[in-house]
Structure 1
């Protein structure tokens, strides 16, 4: 059994996972571990959780308190999906053009969605404060804009869940290509540290961070794995309730 330590750095959030594997990483010609059959329901749930975690990491790596969660709405009329997608595409091109003229980047994470009656197309996106005014000028319906400031309580976990949630099947997830990706580092774990965790002993918290969550999972083949989430101490004073506009 091989022991590993995985660290994921997403802006102010640091995640550390200690786990064991039946095979050695990056070594060729090694047989793979046994695939455990799971139900489609459990697979869907696992995919949903991974999607939410990935989105949360992207938010933390690219945005901060003071940036914006914005809803850009079109008039209540029967746009087709293709027509609204074209409107959004041109909207993004105009923002990018004017932002570039000012030496700015245009980053975004969000989705397109339509109301239940099929006549309320709108775009929800997270944008940086530096491009907010540009975006507002570029949207052709000035009375169809709703702004909500970002707050970091929960490290944007609720916002990530809302972005990934798709009840009606009409969401069209969108992310810009210039987003900073979370930094992932996997190293061989110290067996002594792993033994401490198995005994329920606490490990030293990384300098400059405080612990916000710890979890343990048990796999039938590889045993226990341990997962810790930390936030930078300098980020603590900014933690407040995430505010998201759910008026879809």
Structure 2
């Protein structure tokens, strides 16, 4: 059982820790959480033209400040709880089993209200922040991610989202694209079709050709055929017998 001298000494330590904590929160403006994010906290009028990397840094700093503030508030609650137990005369007793808490434990953790056997922090929590999910590979979680198929998979979904913009510039890519609209992973890949001609040719239910839709891809395809025609060798046939390749 604690003596009155030991209780007074621990009480003084708790009060000193509380005053220091409150002073620290006042000096750092509650870790900066008293001002709005992101404008007041960064001093900017707008974040419209900020680089995504800079915005991510500011968001990380705000999350860290919130976590530190929550940690300090929890510590303050524990101090107040211990001081309240001193007033009620229950300080130094385990709130679970009622046994005396060893002085060595209280000397290290004055806010302790349980013995070591009943401490709620005996086991390390395996709960992780949801933000850590982005650290895992983006692919390999779905049915066809490990297969090279023409069907729509998670990689296609990522490419579609990335096509609306990312933090890269043409100089960041292995093969710099001509347009900023193509600054995303495998932008040259066909979307919605496998062969180029599928983008402009239509067929009926039985595969019979029905119509050709004019498009840039169709024009490109025709130019490639013309180029292939010009490379065909017709031998020494007279000019009257030479016919176009597509006939």
**TM-score, with length taken from structure 2:** 0.21
- Which structure shows the bigger proportion of residues in helix conformation? 2
Question: Whose RCO is larger (CA < 8 A, sep 6+)?
Answer: 1
- Which structure shows the bigger proportion of residues in strand conformation? 1
The structure whose Rg is larger is 2
**TM-score, with length taken from structure 1:** 0.21
